[in-house]
Amino acid sequence: MKLRKASAAAAAAVVLSLTATACGGSDSGDGDEKITVGIKFDQPGLGLKTPDGEFTGFDVDVATYVAKELGYDEKDIEWKEAPSAERENLISRGDVDFIVASYSITDERKEKVSFAGPYFLAHQDLLIRADETSITKAEDLNSKKLCSVTGSTSAQNVKNELAPKADLDEQGGYSQCLTGLENKVVDALTTDDAILAGYAAQDEHKGKFKLAGLSLSDENYGIGLKKGDTELQKKINDALKKMVEDDSWDKAVKDNFGPAGYKNEPAPEITETS
């Protein structure tokens, strides 16, 4: 009877062990487990999957630093693509442990997920040609052609609030807008300045474009995680504070946005604490 009980207990322990291994998670990083992090795969300077399968960008550097502070080496990170429309779903389903993907903190999103941070303050801005001198404020777009991606809130903000007479050209991706900007088919491209700086810093674009520096909105980027997970939130916040204190944050900004001449804001104060 005792032997059967011991066997049952051993079997249960094996099941629990297998379950824990399968789930991974952020509670401990002993070198054998993995952590799954959501990032953008198509945003140069922030989150980009290169043709050789590497991952680069400021968000990637932040996520790697945070994961290390949680106990995971870079080799233990499993990167998962996190398109804007899927971020809340990825978190709620448990497909990722956290998301670092130009993820602006908003009250609407906080109804579904929790955030740590913010770790970066971006602003809506315009990308223009390097020799452009006629666009110095948003109202100047009233006589210009403005490009952004289809359904962009940035483009609608300019069209509805700042320059209602702008000729809005919506494309399927930012690369089409950049081509149009370079070929003088459009006069400006709008989205968050960090995203624009990332594109401008690419080797093939260096010296061709510049940011207008208009700061048309405030976008606090946070790290998204499961709603109510205050333990993980605190650990990530502590990691972000350490990243700023040891100058790793400044280095990541310069490495990823420096070639674009991007004038970033200082690291923002951590506000997401519950």
CATH code of 161's domain: 3.40.190.10
Q: Give the pLDDT of residue 73.
A: 96
Q: Is 47 helix (H, G, I), strand (E, B) or coil?
A: strand
Cβ-count burial 131-161 (b if 16+ within 10 Å, e if not): ebeebeebebbeebbbbbbeebebbebbbee
170 and 241 housed in the same domain: no
CA 257 from chain centre, in angstroms, equals: 14
Give domain status of residue 159, yes or no.
yes
203 and 228 housed in the same domain: no
Inform me whether the pLDDT recorded for 20 exceeds 80. no
Domain count, the chain: 2
Give domain status of residue 14, yes or no.
no
Give domain status of residue 16, yes or no.
no
110 and 226 housed in the same domain: yes
Give domain status of residue 271, yes or no.
no
Give domain status of residue 15, yes or no.
no
> Which pTM was predicted?
0.78
Tokens of 44: 């140069």
* Domain around 249: 32-122+221-260
* 107 vs 86: CA distance, rounded Å: 17
Binned at pLDDT 50, 70 and 90, residue 187 comes out as very high
- Tokens 């109804």 sit at which residue? 111
Inform me whether the pLDDT recorded for 27 exceeds 60. no
Q: Which of 174, 193, 211 is the last residue in one of the domains?
A: 211
36 and 118 housed in the same domain: yes
The DSSP 8-state label assigned to residue 161 in this structure reads: I
Q: Give the pLDDT of residue 32.
A: 67
Q: What residue type is assigned to position 189 of the chain?
A: L
Give domain status of residue 4, yes or no.
no
Give domain status of residue 19, yes or no.
no
49 and 68 housed in the same domain: yes
* Mean pLDDT computed over 84-88: 89
Q: Give the pLDDT of residue 154.
A: 83
- Which strands form 55-56's sheet, in the order they lie side by side? 42-43, 47-49, 55-56
- Strand 42-43 versus strand 98-99 pairing type: unpaired
Binned at pLDDT 50, 70 and 90, residue 55 comes out as very high
Percent with pLDDT over 70 in the chain: 87
112 and 133 housed in the same domain: no
Tokens of 92: 């709620």
177 and 57 housed in the same domain: no
* Highest-confidence segment of 10-19, 149-158, 171-180: 171-180
Quote the radius of gyration of the chain (alpha carbons, Å).
22
Nearest alpha carbon to residue 146 among 122, 173, 126, 175 = 126
Binned at pLDDT 50, 70 and 90, residue 157 comes out as confident
Say how many C-beta atoms besides its own lie within 10 A of residue 176's C-beta: 17
Give domain status of residue 99, yes or no.
yes
196 and 71 housed in the same domain: no
Q: Give the pLDDT of residue 151.
A: 62
45 and 61 housed in the same domain: yes
Nearest alpha carbon to residue 158 among 176, 140, 131 = 140
- Tokens 């900007």 sit at which residue? 181
